[in-house]
Structure 1
Amino acid sequence: MSRTRVHNFTISLDGFATGEGLSAEQPFGHAGHRLHQWMMATAFGAPIMGLPGGSSGVDNAFAQQHEPGIGAEIMGSRKFGPPGWQDDPNWRGWWGPNPPFHTPTYVLTSRPRSPLEMEGGTTFHFLDAPGAEALKIAQEAASGKDVRIGGGPTMLRDFLAAGLIDHLHVVQVPVLLGRGVRLWDGLEGLEQQYQVETVSTPSGVTHFTFSR
C-alpha cells in the first residue's frame, strides 16, 4: 500500500521551518541556509547544492532515505517559488532545468497553470485542491509507490492535522530563528498517533522519526 512520507524536514530549536522575509534572493528568508547546513555536509546533499564531497555518516544515512520508493511529490506554493511567482509566467522553480524530484510533482496553489515538464522526469502539476484530494491524485500517479510531502511548514501542518502522514522525519538543528513559520503550532498531542524515535548525531542535529 502506498504510504505518505516526509523526509529531511528541518526546523530550528524554536520550531521554525523557514525564516521571515522570503524572496527570490532568500528562499528561506532571514534563516538563509542555516537550517540545512547539516544536509549540505552529507554525501547526499552536497551534490544537490553543487558542492564537493560530503560525509557518509549517520546524517547521510537519514538524508538519503529521501528518494527510494517515491513515485510522486506534493509541495506547497511557497516551496515552489517566492511570493508572487504566480505573476511570472517564466518562473520554473528554484532548481534549474533538472529538479531533484524525478517524479510527477504536484504544487498546491490557488492559481493553477498548465503542467511544466522538466528534465530528469519531473513534471510540475499545479492544483487548486484540498490536501486529501491532492493526495489521491498523487497516489494514482505514483503507481503503487509512496508519495512524498515536501512542505513548506504550513502545508505540512495541514496534512498532519488531517491525519494524512504515515512517516515523518523531522531534523532539529541547534539554531534559534525567533521568527518565521513554525511547524508544530496547533498539533498538540500529535506524538500519540505515532511511534517516535530520536537519534542525535555528532553534527549537533537530532533526527525525529514519527512512524504510524
Structure 2
Amino acid sequence: MSRTNLSMSVSADGYVAGPKQSEEHPLGIGGERLHQWHIGTGRDHPVNRQVADEMLAGMAATIMGRNMFGPVRGEWGDSPWQGWWGDEPPYHCPVFVLTHHRHEPIELKGGTTFHFVTDGIMAAYEQATAIADGGPISIAGGASCARQALAAGIVDEIDLQLSPEILGGGERLFDGFSPGALNLELARVLEAPGVVHLRYNVIR
C-alpha cells in the first residue's frame, strides 16, 4: 500500500505562500523566504540535505494543484507553459495536476510527465496509487491541493519545514478545518539554522 506524504514549508504564522501570487512572485510576496533552507543559505546543511532528499527521492508519483504548476488561469488555450522547473523538473515521476480544464499530458526529461486531472483529488489519488504500485506518493502542494488531500483522508504523514518568518497574509495550510478534524502525532523533530523540520503521522 502506498504511503502518502505531504511536505510543505510554512511560516511561523502558518502560511505556506505569501499574498499576491503571480508569475513574478510564484510563492506570493515574501514566500520565497520560507525556502531558504533548501534553495538559499541553508541548502548545504546536512539536515536540510536529508530533508530535501526525502521530499523527492524515491517518490513513485506526485500530486499537485494547478496553482503550483503555474500562473495560467482558466482555459489553457495555446499557452506553452510547462511548469516552473524548465525542461527537466525535479520530480522524476508521474505528476498529477488538479485542474478544471482538460490538457494533454506533458512529458519532459528525467522521467517527469505531467497528467492533468479534472475529476478532483480522489481521481488524482486513484491514478497516482495505480501507477505508484505500492511506492510512496507525494502531495506537493499548493495549499488548496494539500487541504483537499487532508480533507479526503489520503495523507499518512505531514512534513512541515517551519521557518521563523512572519508573512502576515497569503495561503494557510490548515484553513477551514474544525477543531479535532485532524489527529496528528509528532513523529520527528530535526533542527538546522533558521528552520525546524517537523514530521507528524496522521492518525485515523
Regarding TM over 0.5, the answer is yes
Query: In the alignment, which of 38, 52, 59 is matched to residue 48 of structure 2?
Result: 59
Q: TM-score, normalised by structure 1?
A: 0.87
Residue 28 of structure 1 is matched in structure 2 by 27
For residue 132 of structure 1, report the CA deviation from its aligned partner. 1.5
Structure 2: distance between partners of 1:26 and 1:87:
23
- Does the 8 Å contact 1:131/1:159 carry over to 2? yes
Query: In the alignment, which of 68, 77, 84 is matched to residue 79 of structure 1?
Result: 68
For residue 10 of structure 1, report the CA deviation from its aligned partner. 0.5
Whether 2:188 is the aligned partner of 1:189: answer no
Residue 165 of structure 1 is matched in structure 2 by 155
Which amino acid letter does the alignment assign opposite residue 83 of structure 2?
G
Whether 2:98 is the aligned partner of 1:99: answer no
RMSD (Å) for aligned C-alpha atoms: 1.9
Structure 1: distance between partners of 2:82 and 2:200:
32
Residue 2 of structure 2 is matched in structure 1 by 2
Which amino acid letter does the alignment assign opposite residue 104 of structure 1?
P
CA 1:163–1:130: 2 relative to 1, 3 Å: same
Provide structure 1 residue ranges, at least 5 long, that are not aligned to the other structure. 47-53
CA 1:158–1:37: 2 relative to 1, 3 Å: same
Which amino acid letter does the alignment assign opposite residue 155 of structure 2?
I
SS in 2 for 1:178: coil
Structure 1: distance between partners of 2:35 and 2:173:
16
Which amino acid letter does the alignment assign opposite residue 105 of structure 2?
P
- Quote the sequence identity (%): 38
For residue 5 of structure 1, report the CA deviation from its aligned partner. 1.1
Alignment coverage as a number of residue pairs: 200
For residue 15 of structure 1, report the CA deviation from its aligned partner. 0.6
Provide structure 2 residue ranges, at least 5 long, that are not aligned to the other structure. none
CA 1:169–1:42: 2 relative to 1, 3 Å: farther
For residue 60 of structure 1, report the CA deviation from its aligned partner. 2.2
